[in-house]
Copies of this chain bind each other. A is one copy, B any other.
Amino acid sequence: MAPVTVYDVAKKAGVGIATVSRVFRRSQEVSMETRQRVLQAAQELGYVPDAAAQALASRRSNIIGLILTRAPHHISSDAFLNQILFHLISEFRKLGMHLLLEIVEDVQNPEGYLHLVKSNRIDGLIFSGPRSDDEALVALIERGFPTVLMGYLPNTNCFSVDINNRAAARTAVEHLIHLGHKRIACITNASLSYSAAAERLSGYQEALEAAHIPYDEALVRYGDFNLESGYIQMNNLLDEAFHFTAVFIASDVVAFGAMSAARERGLHIPKDLAVVGFDDVPLAQYVDPTLTTMRLPTTELAICSSDLIIQLICGEVPEQRHVFLPTELVVRDSCGVV
């Protein structure tokens, strides 16, 4: 039951412990012959290096934190999370790294992830859904801790990976405009303190402006990540807003909630109301009607973030500070035929 240590392996292989360490650190400076002998001995003894000891001695935990800023009710609706997780873990595994997940429910109380950093539990972190009012995060970045944002924080020069939310939203709304719609409502994906939400709203405004359609605040509502918020805000629009023939909803999940509300009112989509979503969650092509939406490059988002954080941890300086990945309009049935 006594743990197998470097000493055991070293003894069995007839080498010093430094050599054993070198072999497992994949260092070049061990002769082929010795390396084989060590590996053989380790194999026979069932030796696996102790993670804590490695971390303590090398100052590297090989753990990367993924910090999610989400309130409980957001979490359950987050259709990306799974894909992001999958890809991040796959990438990390290739490098012998692991993913530790932390959720920040309240931005004002960032103790959770700060503690991870201060205790050296993680080598770097990926921060999903950064908010500009998160002072702790900004401080961390300025202190030089390896950090990558999934999302974008204006006025910082933190490394970040995101899509061009504004351009994507504009494309989505332009699609509606090309279809002849003049009165186009908007439901955001979240409150505007999330930069992605603010940007998407700007894109909506830009598209209107370019088409000389006046921006009407009465046609705008604010979603809150989940189905219910879409349902509520659509009902609200239907109750209070002047007639509109189309709606841009900056989140598929929110859109599903909204479509449900529209249906209950007896509105037919797309005949009475055209809908464009945002995200292209897997379900978008299986709902009725299938949802026209902006596709997010989920895989690339994850891989790109992982590449960046690894570079930062290794002390390299990535060429690009801010990466913006392309999105793609996926035309389905919710806007009618072109």
Interface residues of A (CB under 8 A from B): 3, 46, 48-53, 55-56, 61, 63, 70, 72, 75-79, 81-83, 85-86, 89-90, 93, 98-103, 112, 115-116, 118-121, 226-227, 231, 253, 256-257, 259-260, 263, 282-283, 285-288
Contact = CB atoms under 8 A, between A and B. Distances in A.
A90 B106 CA distance: 13
B256 A287 contact: yes
Main secondary structure of the interface of A (DSSP, over half): helix
Given A82-B75, A93-B112, A103-B90, A53 B51 contact: no
Contacts of A72: 86
Tell me how many chains of this kind the complex includes: 2
A76 B285 CA distance: 14
A27 to B, nearest CB: 19
Contact of A100 (B63, B76, B81, B286): B63
B282 A263 contact: no
Given A51-B121, A100-B100, 16 more contacts: A3-B120, A46-B118, A48-B119, A50-B56, A51-B119, A51-B120, A52-B56, A56-B56, A75-B85, A82-B82, A98-B121, A99-B101, A100-B101, A226-B282, A263-B288, A283-B283
Given A52-B55, A83-B75, A103 B121 contact: no
